Amino acid sequence: MVTIVTSEAASSPPNARREGGALWLRNDELLASTGWEIKPEGVCRGEVCVPLPGERAEALMAERDGASWLDVAGFAEYVGQTSAHDAATDTWYFGPGPEERRGHLDMLDAPDFELRDLEGRTHRLSDHRGKKVLLAVWASW
């Protein structure tokens, strides 16, 4: 069984297939597990679409059983997403793409985030827009 971990969640898409270094996900499971989706304009997540040129598309996308499939491991490498793999448990981690990692900090535009407090209430940095925010990162260790 393949497990896919992102910074948001972990999931085990039942139809995932591993072939060598490739990890094929059916489009519906691709969207549910990674947020990416194959569309006519390319492989998209939110507002971002990555068009795949001919040869890349041939290598990374496939039509099987009446559905579109993407090799997410190959795609991550192509777009420069960080990733890690544990072979023993067949667990894969896929991180943010370069545009998500760098877009904000190069501009010093404070990246938004959503986290919970002890009571489980959700807070976003952007809730505080219009006020100064002192953001202090700490740990118990």
Partner 1 sequence: MITVGCDVKGAEVEREYIEAARPEHPSLLDPTFIVPELYNTRNVPAVFWIDEDGWIVRGNDPVYATRRNRETGETTINERYLEAVRDWVRHGSRSAYLTSQLETQRRVGATDEANDQAMAHFRLGVHLDRNGHHEEAVAQFKAALALKPENWNYRRQAYNLGSADEYGITMQEAMQTVGPMYAMPLELPEVQST
SS3 140: coil
Give the one residue of 12, 39, 58, 128 binding partner 1; rule: CB under 8 A.
128
CB of 40 to partner 1, least distance (A): 30
Over the window 59 to 98, marking each residue x when it contacts partner 1 by CB under 8 A and - when it does not, the resulting string is: -----------------------xxxxx-xx-xxxxxx--
Cβ neighbours for 108, distance < 8 A, ≥ 6 positions apart: none
- Site for partner 1 contains 1 (CB under 8 A): no
d(CA 53, CA 106): 28
Residue 80's CB is within 10 A of a number of other CB atoms, namely: 13
User: Which residue, 39 or 128, has its beta carbon nearer to partner 1?
Assistant: 128
Helix (H) or strand (E) holding 43: strand 42-45
Tokens 């260790």 label which residue? 141
CB of 49 to partner 1, least distance (A): 22
CB of 15 to partner 1, least distance (A): 21
Q: Residue 53 has which token pair?
A: 């040129």
66 torsion bin: left (phi>0), alpha (psi -120 to 50), beta (else) = left
CB of 1 to partner 1, least distance (A): 12
Which residues are at the interface with partner 1 (CB under 8 A)? Answer: 3, 5, 7, 10, 82-86, 88-89, 91-96, 101-102, 104-106, 108-111, 113, 115-118, 123, 125-126, 128-141
